[in-house]
Chains A and B, each alone.
Chain A
Amino acid sequence: MAKITFITRNGEKITVEGNDGSLMELAKQNNIKGIDGDCGGVCSCATCHVHVDPAYFEKTGTASEIENDMLELDDNVGEYSRLSCQIPVSDALDGLVLQVAN
């Protein structure tokens, strides 16, 4: 079980718990605003963009080439940007803090 905190664009802080699936799916299950996941999690829409707390960035693994390219579609891309559908939820992510990008 990992505790994960999403901070939405209007500053709302929501901590949720997850075991499996992707961070995008976890966000959707918990109605986190700003994570739309329009493509259903196949790295095609970039509507699940988050900024990862730098302290945790390594734990989320490395982005694939497609993911990095897709992030370029969003003007709000930064050094710690990820598409949350590409990050599997695991115990290793316990304590993770994410800023929703949009």
Chain B
Amino acid sequence: MSENPNNKVCVIIGASHAGVNLAFALRSEGWAGDIVLIDADAALPYHRPPLSKAYLASDDGIEQNLLKSADSYEKEGITLRLGVLVKSIDRADKCVHLNDDSVQVYDKLVLATGASPIVPPIPGIDGASNLYPLRTAEDVTNIRKALNTSQSKRVIVIGGGYIGLETAASLKKLGATVTVLEREERVLSRVTAPEISQFFTNLHKQYGVEIFTDKNVVSIETKNGLNVIKCSDNSRFNADIIVVGVGIRVNTALAVAAGLEVENGIKVNATARTSDEDIYAIGDCTFHHNPHYNRFIRLESVQNAVDQAKVAAAAIAGKETTYNTIPWFWSDQYDVKLQMVGLSEGYNRILVRKEASEDTKFSVWYFKDDELLAVDAVNNAKAYVIGTKFIKEGKKVDASKLVDPSTPFKPANLLAE
């Protein structure tokens, strides 16, 4: 649909981990047409994981944190349109409408719209002082600014998921007094086994971060910049800064309005294509099939964003590769590295492998019957790597050898006869 019929246009909505990787992969795959990368965020595309980790805790500018160098877009012939929002998709005329009133035509369109943080409808939340989610570089700037100007530096983090806990650790490093309020009976309850939750609860305690569980926030009252957070058990917490980390909502509005198939995310096939053959979707916004676990899933991870970007790029360039990866993820808190591989959902048995004489180094292995589903490794990249290989290859593990710290940690030693 472009003016030059020989020069096709691929338009990508969302210039973050998924969209940026797709743009560059598309060039490597030999796409000779235009590539237009659009994002509402005005900043050059940056890494998101450090936002709650090193980037929050350091003085680095966002330039230190870019996904690709500033000049690489021009070198690869990728047109960046930052600070503009896509308002709608016109599938019949194959174009998108932007909020600067311009129209961008496409031959192939990619939705890499990701997700937005949930701000729960708690009475008083709109009037709260210095309340921020954590999803963008701007959020980090706001949180740091609020902390710098705050006398008492009392921070409440609502939500004990990865982002909440990482934020707590980073703000503690910056000298804040930090309390985490978690609604469930343990932190990380949605994503890990109780052993991991317990470990991180203790870790935060050691560093002086308080974690309260079973805390359902029911209201926030704010006077003269002081927020009083009330929970359903009538407990109250004071804070001059509140960080909300209670999860995300997938950005599917454009897809829904355009009539694309959407379930728990934008539904895509094994080549990351939506129900429209000229429209693809990649990254956090997708609901996709994972062949290894043989079910449809939605993931919030760099791995998934990057891998789907590569698959979609190949498909758009006319090559056929299909998505088939084992999900992986990491979290850094204080000096502890947590690495996760696989999907633990549906497990009915776990084994904990401790390492002799090292109590900050262990791994949790999740099984469904005798099938290894996932591994969470704490300060233990070896467990992560072995777990990755075993899951990929469908290897069976000898439980007694695995949990025995005297078994040297090598794949050959851990296999069932």
- Nearest Cβ in chain B — how far from A73, in angstroms? 5
Contact (A28, B69) CB under 8 Å given A70-B385, A73-B385: yes
* A39-B302 contact, Cβ under 8 Å, with A29-B69, A30-B69: yes
Closest beta carbon of chain A to B62's beta carbon, Å: 12
Are A69 and B50 within 8 A (Cβ)?
no
Chain B interface, number of residues (Cβ within 8 angstroms):
28
Contacts of A40 in B (CB 8 A): 47, 49-50, 65
Interface of chain A: mostly helix, strand, loop or mixed: loop
Would B332 and A65 count as touching, CB distance under 8 A? Answer: no
Q: Is the beta-carbon distance between B72 and A31 smaller than 8 angstroms?
A: yes
Instruction: Indicate if the CB atoms of A44 and B75 lie closer than 8 Å.
Output: no
**A66 CB within 8 Å of chain B:** yes
A-B contact count (CB 8 A): 55
Say what secondary structure dominates the interface of chain B: helix
Query: CA separation between A28 and B385, bound complex, in Å?
Result: 25
B274 at the A interface (CB under 8 A): no
Name the CB-closest residue of B to A33. B28
In Å, the complex CA distance between A87 and B338 comes to 21
CA distance A73 to B392 in the complex (A): 12
Closest chain B residue to A74, Cβ basis = B385
In angstroms, Cα B384 to Cα A36, docked, is: 20
**Do A69 and B49 touch (CB < 8 A)?**
no
C-alpha spacing A36/B66, complex, angstroms? 12
Kindly list chain A residues whose C-beta atoms are within 8 Å of the C-beta of B66.
Answer: 28
Given contacts A28-B69, A38-B306, A42-B54, contact A69 B47 (CB under 8 A): no
Residue of A nearest to B48 (CB): A40
Q: Using C-beta atoms within 8 Å of the partner chain, give the interface range for chain A.
A: 20 to 34
Decide if A38 touches B302 in the complex (CB within 8 Å). yes
User: Nearest chain-A residue to B302 (Cβ)?
Assistant: A38
Tell me, yes or no, whether B330 is within 8 Å of chain A by CB: yes
Encode contact with A along B50-64: 1 for CB under 8 Å, 0 otherwise. 100110000000001
Residues from 38 to 84 in B contacting A, C-beta threshold 8 Å: 47, 49-50, 53-54, 64-66, 68-69, 71-72, 75
A72 on interface, CB distance cutoff 8 Å: yes
Question: Quick one: CB contact mask for B378-406 with A, threshold 8 Å, 1 for yes?
Answer: 01011011001000000000000000000
* B339 contacts chain A at the CB level, 8 A cutoff: yes
Nearest-neighbor residue (CB-CB) of B329 within chain A: A44
Would you call A72 and B385 a contact (CB within 8 A)? yes
Contact residues, B353-392 vs A (CB, 8 A): 379, 381-382, 384-385, 388
Contacts A28-B68, A39-B49, A39-B302; A44 near B385 (Cβ below 8 A): no
A6-26 vs B, CB cutoff 8 Å, 1 = contact: the mask equals: 000000000000000100010
A30 to B, closest residue via Cβ = B69
Nearest CB in chain A: distance from B60 CB, A: 10
| B residues near A70, Cβ cutoff 8 Å | 381, 384-385
Q: Could you say which of A29, A33, A38 has the most chain B C-beta atoms within 10 Å of its C-beta?
A: A38
A43 to B69, CA, bound (A): 20
Cβ contact within 8 Å between B339 and A31? no
A43 and B385 CA atoms in complex are apart in Å by: 13
- Establish whether residues B381 and A39, one from each chain, have CB atoms under 8 Å apart when the complex forms: no
Shortest Cβ-Cβ A-B pairs, 8 listed? A69-B381, A44-B330, A40-B47, A66-B381, A69-B382, A31-B72, A29-B69, A72-B385
Between A and B, 18 residue pairs with Cβ closer than 8 Å are A28-B68, A30-B69, A31-B69, A33-B28, A36-B306, A38-B17, A38-B303, A39-B302, A40-B49, A42-B49, A42-B337, A43-B337, A43-B381, A44-B337, A44-B339, A65-B381, A65-B382, A70-B381
4 additional contacts (CB under 8 A) given A42-B50, A45-B303, A72-B382: A25-B64, A39-B49, A42-B332, A73-B388
